[in-house]
């Protein structure tokens, strides 16, 4: 295992410093900011609200729409051309799937819940940060949820399974395994799992274990941020 000491000095199982805050966008029904290392994501939830145009409405169930976007100046190198890319469309889709499982959309016939995620600054782990922010925003909006959703990117670098990879680590060697994972903290169920790179099944098993463990730590940060806004008020 050649990669043991991480570039930023972190331990293999150590997450970058995190910051989370809710209620950051007043016009939204729910909103949150989630920062991990230098990756900063904000999310806003509008809904449930009447879905327009009417022909898209479903009288049996509501729909969830997720839109993930990186601000043009948020990339780590050149400017990111504004507008949806294939990458951002796919991330929007897997984000929607990751969040969908905690919602009972049958409660919102003819309605839509819109989730908008923007990245202000990035250093890897963006889709995971987006999911963490979005889950907090949904809870902040008072939408009934089965659980929160917590996500992190696990990496397999040179045989070493480490959590919360940075861009530097992503670029370190070709074929390093990048595994974003999202879970429901209460049950440990996985709602997002992707892999980019070459790894062994055993490494995957370790990665999922480490991912679940780390997500539970992230959950504590999300919980705290949600409660913080109200702890003064209720006394």
Interface residues with other proteins (CB under 8 A)? 24-30, 38, 40, 42-44, 46-50, 57, 59, 62, 67, 69, 71-79, 82-83, 102, 108-111, 114, 116, 118, 120-123, 139-148, 184-186, 222-223, 226-227, 230-231, 233-235
Residue 86 or 235: which CB sits closer to other proteins?
235
CB of 77 to other proteins, least distance (A): 5
CB of 176 to other proteins, least distance (A): 19
Cβ neighbourhood burial of 50 (10 Å; 0-12, 13-18, 19+) = exposed
Residue 25 or 131: which CB sits closer to other proteins?
25
Residue 128 or 156: which CB sits closer to other proteins?
128
CB of 146 to other proteins, least distance (A): 6
Per the CB < 8 A criterion, the answer to whether 57 and 110 are in contact is: yes
Residue 12 or 111: which CB sits closer to other proteins?
111
Residue 162's CB is within 10 A of a number of other CB atoms, namely 21
CB of 76 to other proteins, least distance (A): 6
**CA–CA dist 80, 227 (Å, integer):** 35
Question: Would you state the structure tokens that stand for residue 8, as one six-digit string?
Answer: 């930023």
Residue 114's CB is within 10 A of a number of other CB atoms, namely 18
Instruction: List the beta bridge partners of residue 18.
Output: 36
Per the CB < 8 A criterion, the answer to whether 50 and 113 are in contact is: no
Question: Would you state the structure tokens that stand for residue 91, as one six-digit string?
Answer: 């991330």
CB of 141 to other proteins, least distance (A): 6
**DSSP one-letter code for 73:** T
**CA–CA dist 152, 156 (Å, integer):** 13
H or E element, residue 80: none
CB of 14 to other proteins, least distance (A): 20
Q: Provide the 3-class DSSP secondary structure of residue 67.
A: strand
Residue 73 or 201: which CB sits closer to other proteins?
73
Residue 60 or 202: which CB sits closer to other proteins?
60
């Amino acid at each position: 295992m050649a990669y043991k000491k991480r570039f930023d000095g972190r331990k293999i199982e150590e997450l970058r410093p995190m910051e989370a805050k809710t209620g950051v966008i007043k016009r939204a029904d729910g909103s949150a900011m989630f920062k991990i290392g230098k990756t900063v994501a904000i999310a806003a939830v509008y809904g449930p609200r009447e879905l327009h145009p009417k022909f898209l409405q479903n009288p049996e169930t509501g729909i969830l729409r997720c839109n993930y976007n990186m601000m043009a100046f948020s990339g780590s190198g050149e400017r990111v051309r504004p507008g949806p890319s294939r990458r951002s469309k796919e991330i929007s889709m897997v984000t929607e799937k990751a969040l969908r499982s905690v919602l009972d959309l049958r409660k919102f016939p003819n309605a839509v819940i819109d989730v908008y995620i923007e990245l202000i600054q990035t250093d890897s782990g963006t889709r995971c940060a987006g999911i963490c922010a979005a889950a907090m925003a949904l809870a902040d909006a008072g939408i009934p949820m089965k659980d929160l959703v917590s996500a992190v990117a696990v990496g397999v670098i040179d045989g070493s399974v480490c959590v919360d990879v940075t861009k530097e680590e992503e670029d370190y060697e070709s074929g390093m395994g990048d595994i974003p994972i999202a879970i429901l903290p209460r049950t440990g169920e996985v709602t997002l799992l992707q892999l980019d790179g070459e790894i062994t099944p055993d490494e995957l098993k370790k990665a999922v274990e480490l991912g679940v463990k780390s997500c539970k730590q992230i959950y504590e940060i999300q919980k705290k941020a949600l409660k913080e806004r109200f702890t003064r008020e209720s006394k």
